[in-house]
Amino acid sequence: MPGLLAFMERWKPGSTQGFKPATADQIAALAKPHGGLNALPHVYREFLETMGASTGSLRLTFGTTSISALLEDRENLQRERPDARRYLRFTMGEEDEFNTTGRRDTDDIFELFRPTPDGRDAAIIRIHEEDLARGKGEIERPFPTFSDWLRTIIVSRVVFGTEPKEQTEYYDLESKPEAPAKAYEFLTRLGFSLTELGASPAVIPLEHAEYCAIALIDAATASIPSTSVQLRARDKAQQRILEEVISDHEEELSDG
């Protein structure tokens, strides 16, 4: 979390000022049905201790990550819940009058039984909690882990989502398994390096200090079957230089 806060303040000063941590009692109450504090993925506990009560002006989801909202909803004893020892909901979809399905947005949920090898994180899924409890509905896996979910959203909101949004360049690369590693090798040769946000084989944020640029490598998923790279520099002239270099080598990075 200290690295995440440093990254945000460097790219968007003041963006972390509205963050409010959850209290120890709130975190304990949230963890209790799931087996206690040790059942919470460590990275999620750090998240709660940093911005569990409020993420300020930063919107992470179409709904909320607020621990008070999650605890309040837990008081609804009529709601069907999945096995608490296996699943932990960390976002709650909001009700949207423009949602054509007539339902609130989906929830993001930890699969506690699928921790990462280091035990600090866990796999996540996206589905309505009640559908998961009933064994119906379609499970989505837009991100492998909570860390990948968080680092992708932070880069998207703090860097790529700033005006003018059309300045962010998108490259659709090949679908082969080695594509993320190939893109990573290429970008590091250009002078990009890892950021405080860390990385995984699926989501790799990179920063170019000289050009004040960010690149995000996203590996292929079930819904998006090719690796992609997004690029954004603070200065348009610096970005054009990088775009020209990437364009010159795009063929070697793509299926063509």
Q: For the segment 20-40, what is each residue's pLDDT rounded down to a tens digit?
A: 999 999 999 999 999 999 999
C-alpha count within 13 angstroms, C-beta hemisphere, residue 220: 14
Q: In the predicted model, is pLDDT for residue 144 greater than 80?
A: yes
Arithmetic mean of pLDDT, 56-71 = 93
Decide if pLDDT at 143 tops 90: yes
Alpha carbon distance 220, 176 (integer Å): 8
CB atoms within 10 A of CB 75: 7
Radius of gyration of the chain (CA): 19
Pick the more confident residue, 77 or 151: 151
Per-residue confidence at 250, pLDDT binned at 50, 70, 90? Answer: confident
- Whether residue 6 has pLDDT greater than 60: yes
* Percent of the chain whose pLDDT exceeds 90: 77
The dihedral through the CA atoms of 165, 11, 223, 185 has a sign that is positive
If we measure between CA atoms, which residue out of 114, 142, 149 comes closest to residue 41? 114
Which residue is it, tokens 């995984």?
200
Q: Strand 63-64 to strand 87-93: parallel, antiparallel, or no bridges (unpaired)?
A: antiparallel
Per-residue pLDDT at 101 exceeds 70: no
What is the rounded distance in angstroms from the CA atom of residue 134 to the CA atom of residue 7? 40
44-53, 68-77, 99-108, 155-164: least confident range: 99-108
Spatial distance between the Cα atoms of 92 and 73, rounded to a whole number of angstroms: 9
- pLDDT of res. 96: 60
- CA within 13 Å, CB half, 242: 32
- Note the pLDDT tens digit of each residue in 173-222: 878 888 899 999 999 999 999 999 999 999 999 999 999 999 999 998 87
Whether 51 shows a pLDDT value over 80: the answer reads yes
Residue 226: pLDDT above 50? Answer: yes
The structural domains of the chain, ordered by start, are 2-146 (3.40.1580), 163-253 (3.30.310)
Residues contacting residue 180 through CB under 8 Å, at least 6 positions apart = 201, 202, 204, 217, 218, 219, 227
pLDDT-based confidence at 141, cuts 50/70/90?
very high
150-182: pLDDT as tens digits: 999 999 999 998 888 889 999 988 788 888 999
In sequence order, the β-bridge partners of residue 194 are 206
Token pair for residue 255?
């299926």
Contact 121, 148 (CB under 8 A): no
What's residue 255's pLDDT?
Answer: 58
What is the average per-residue pLDDT within 117-140? 94
Residue 98 has what pLDDT? 47
